[in-house]
Amino acid sequence: MSELSQYGIQLTAQTIHAKQFEKKMRGYNQEQVDEFLDEIIKDYSRMQELIVKFEADLANIHKELMKDKEAFDYFMIKRRLEDLEQRVFGEKRETLRPRVF
């Protein structure tokens, strides 16, 4: 699994699952809290899987782009033009043609 702390993510699904809370009078319904935490853990696990997948996809795209220097240069020029268009036209331009990457 990738190092998610580089994205500011400190918790993992495992740390959420292992978290223990003190029991106090007039506290929350423990079963409801546990059920909700289970939902959070599922979503968090899926999010972590997606981050790893997207990192791998991005690395593969980068490798492919680097194979063809001309295609990479074209891509970078197009990206820079889109950045300039965004600065010149503002948010309205984004709705006309979304960013490539």
Contact of 82 with 100, CB cutoff 8 Å: yes
Instruction: State the Cα–Cα distance between residues 6 and 2, nearest whole angstrom.
Output: 9
Alpha helix segments (H runs only) across 68-90: 69-89
Cα separation, 32 vs 99, in Å, equals: 42
Q: CB under 8 Å to 85, separation ≥6 — which residues?
A: 93
pLDDT digits (tens, 9 = 90+) for 35-69: 999 999 999 999 989 999 999 999 998 888 788 88
Give, for 6, the enclosing helix (H) or strand (E): none
Question: What is the mean predicted confidence (pLDDT) over 30-38?
Answer: 89
Q: Which of 42, 63, 60 is nearest to 52 (CA)?
A: 60
Tens-place pLDDT, residues 2-27:
577 787 888 888 888 888 888 887 88
